[in-house]
Structure 1
Amino acid sequence: MAALLPALTILSLVAVGIDGYRNVTISTLASAVAKGAVCLDGTPPAYAYSPGFGDGIDNWHVYLEGGGWCENTSSCLDRSTNGLGSSPKLISSKNGIQSFGGMLEDNSTFNSDFYNWHVFRIFYCDGSSFTSDVEDVDPVHNLTYRGARIYDAMMDELLRIGMGNAKNALLSGTSAGGLATILHCDKFQALFHNTTRVKCVSDSGFFVYGEHFMGADRREAFFSDVVSTHGLTNTLPTSCTSKFRPTLCLFPENLVQDIKTPLFLMESSFDSYQIGENVFSPSDKSPRWANCTHNLMFCNWTEIKIMKDFRYTFINTLKSTITDSSSRRGYFVHSCYRHGHMAYTHGSTCLIGNKLANKTITQAVGDWYFDRSGFQEMDMLNDLPRTCTTTDDEATFEKNCSDYYMQH
């Protein structure tokens, strides 16, 4: 089960590129401690805030970090020793600075719709996609399961500094943060006046159960352990738990249909994390499979067939989930082998070799967010995983990206 955890390892191997153009200081929210809103190790949660400017002064983008989950005491204890469970460890590992890239950056050429918004990046230190709320501290290991309180405390802080008066507001997140975005989307919308445009974007957060695809029992068992460890039975959306077992309410296919707030899904049908970590258990993984999932050049036809079967499961699951959706649902489902887009320049704003309906991911989200046009596109032509990264140096990469936007 522990193999489901290292999302950041896979992401760092797949989503290489230019990761940001502005560095923002990481801060801790001391006021959260009095509310019991603390990380696994009991330290206050952390965030990085870049104020809006110009005509973006009334617009807010709140971004939830990802990084897998911990499913038992041992794995949560391990997280408490690093930046995924401890804010001091996070700050130390990053030297107190976080780079803002992709749709979080202030580059008006690459990120024209969102470049001058307030950006509030919430770091992930609870291991439950910001959903746990256990009053008692583990007396043996001194672990605290309070992800939902962290989310609430951060929202309180955002309202205190002015987000409640927003004209436009966006909640987004990647991976486990993308799942958290789905779980909290309607709750986020409830913070605002009816005149505020409020929408949500989940990036690589559509983790499939895939009941008839290999590994389903293991995926269900893992999330069952997450629910048990973090006490999530009563914190997951009742719109889902009234119909399904709590375990199944961590799978977006059982959540999305009930979300009332406009939601955009930014996904790959060849999600590298789900393919690499959620299909085989560690004991069943062969060295060949490990090499293949880290570099498609090492894959044989049998391994590619497994990936194609995953794509089939993913697309059919997503289609059945959004069958009755209106333009409130947007989606961009491509065939690049990757996991994570929004916070990476190479994954969103400048992934110019990966367009659907002649739009990049960033352009699609912008059109959908501002109601210029709906966007519901899946790549149904490419049924093989594609490597969409570049080996260009930074200067060449930036020039190619600039040239693209100048021409479009």
Structure 2
Amino acid sequence: MADHRFIRPLIVCFLMMMMMSSQVCASDWTNIIIPESAISKGAVCLDGSPPAYYFRNGSGDGVDNWLIYMEGGGWCISNKGCLERTKIYTGTSTLKPKRMYFTDILSEDQTINPDFYNWNRVFVAYCDSSSYLGMLNPGSRIFDSVMEDLLAKGMKNAKNAILSGGSAGGLGTILHCDGFRSLIPKASRVKCISDAGFFIHAKKLHGAQERERFFADMIAYHGATKHLPASCTTKMNPSLCIFPENIVKDIQTPLFFLESAFDGHQEFWFTLAIAMDTSWTTAGALTRQHCEK
């Protein structure tokens, strides 16, 4: 028979460890934030709900440093497509989680994120489907609204700041990079990181005209021309100025690209689906069938 004199202390110790663990985990979560003046300024998601972001305060020697990450999630280029997106998380803030656990470059674990663990860290939720660029479906106002909120929270006094984003958010990072720099003119260093946002033009690949039309449709539908660099739009068709290869040389703020040599999204969706004039779902199914042979 087990000796209860030894079991009871073990149970107490286990429960204390569990309580400590839950407290540590709870501190790593951050609540959703809704910019108060967003709707009154026309900054809304596709469904009319307000934009949202998640924020963790900096500490120690990172208290004056800021890292903003803009979520991606593709585009819509028609009334039907955008209406469908109002029912999923890429078109509304109502379906965003109320709390988020920061990981990777937003993590506050120094062992896995030694460079930014104690910076002010922000995750901007994606809900406009225009890479934060649209004026008709106001993605650009969402960007402005969130930045205004962050400036009021102390970003105006930033010493170092990084704007980053992934996929559609990575493209938004490229096109907002210089504008972001202008918001914090007193900062010592401001840089941008585009993760998987360098969407290729690939003029020599099959389907180039279809790609150009798809990108042009996005610009036209969302009224995004205003946020394309004038240094590019004055030299070529504005619809080509959303391809990073045509605009990066004119961006003045230091910009780093993180891009896979085998970007599955671009390889399959931007070439196979568009070139075949079929849906992305069909293209994905055909791709999987081919790879499984």
- TM-score, with normalisation over the residues of structure 1? 0.61
Matched position secondary structure for 1:268: coil
Q: Closer, same or farther in 2 for the Cα pair 1:167/1:286, shift >3 Å?
A: closer
- Give the partner amino acid of 1:98: M
**How many residue pairs are counted as aligned between the two chains?**
261
Sequence identity, in percent? 47
Q: Aligned to 2:58, which of 42, 45, 52? A: 52
Matches of 2:183 and 2:205, distance apart in 1: 39
> What residue number does 1:222 align with?
214
The question of 1:81 aligning with 2:119 is answered no
Matches of 1:30 and 1:112, distance apart in 2: 33
Matches of 2:256 and 2:250, distance apart in 1: 14
Residue deviations 1:158-208, cap 9 Å, x none? 111110111110000000000000000000011113442100000000010
Check whether the contact 2:161–2:187 (CA below 8 A) recurs between aligned residues.
Answer: no
Q: How does 1:42-121 map to 2 (within 5 A)?
A: 42-90=48-96, 94=97, 96-121=98-123
- Give the partner amino acid of 1:193: P
Check whether the contact 2:89–2:127 (CA below 8 A) recurs between aligned residues.
Answer: yes
Q: Aligned to 2:167, which of 163, 171, 175? A: 175
Q: Closer, same or farther in 2 for the Cα pair 1:51/1:225, shift >3 Å?
A: same
Check whether the contact 2:90–2:127 (CA below 8 A) recurs between aligned residues.
Answer: yes
Q: Aligned to 2:149, which of 157, 171, 181? A: 157
Residue deviations 1:93-122, cap 9 Å, x none? x3x122211111011111111110001111
Matches of 1:83 and 1:45, distance apart in 2: 12
Matches of 1:112 and 1:234, distance apart in 2: 38
Matched position secondary structure for 2:226: coil
Divergent runs of 4+, >6 A: none
Matches of 1:287 and 1:124, distance apart in 2: 26
Matched position secondary structure for 1:88: coil
Matches of 1:23 and 1:239, distance apart in 2: 42
The question of 1:244 aligning with 2:232 is answered no
Q: Closer, same or farther in 2 for the Cα pair 1:167/1:220, shift >3 Å?
A: same
- Give the partner amino acid of 1:62: I
Computing the radius of gyration from Cα coordinates, the structure with the larger value is 2
> What residue number does 1:290 align with?
288
Q: How does 1:2-401 map to 2 (within 5 A)?
A: 22-90=28-96, 94=97, 96-134=98-136, 145-281=137-273, 282=278, 285=283, 287-291=285-289, 298=292
Q: Closer, same or farther in 2 for the Cα pair 1:195/1:147, shift >3 Å?
A: closer
Check whether the contact 1:87–1:125 (CA below 8 A) recurs between aligned residues.
Answer: yes
* Structure 2: runs of 5 or more not aligned: 1-26
- Give the partner amino acid of 2:101: S
- Give the partner amino acid of 1:219: R
Higher relative contact order (CA 8 A, sep 6+): 1
Check whether the contact 1:68–1:175 (CA below 8 A) recurs between aligned residues.
Answer: yes
Matched position secondary structure for 1:278: helix
Q: How far apart are 1:243 and its partner, in Å?
A: 1.6
> What residue number does 2:4 align with?
none
- TM-score, with normalisation over the residues of structure 2? 0.85
Q: Closer, same or farther in 2 for the Cα pair 1:128/1:286, shift >3 Å?
A: closer
Matches of 2:89 and 2:249, distance apart in 1: 33
- Give the partner amino acid of 2:217: D
Residue deviations 1:255-275, cap 9 Å, x none? 111100001100101001111
Matches of 1:75 and 1:42, distance apart in 2: 16
* Structure 1: runs of 5 or more not aligned: 1-20, 135-144, 300-408
Q: Closer, same or farther in 2 for the Cα pair 1:107/1:291, shift >3 Å?
A: farther
Residue deviations 1:241-261, cap 9 Å, x none? 112212111111111111000
Matched position secondary structure for 1:171: strand
Matches of 1:290 and 1:121, distance apart in 2: 32
| Structure with a larger share of its residues in helix | 2
Matches of 1:152 and 1:285, distance apart in 2: 36
Q: How far apart are 1:150 and its partner, in Å?
A: 0.7
Q: How far apart are 1:229 and its partner, in Å?
A: 0.9
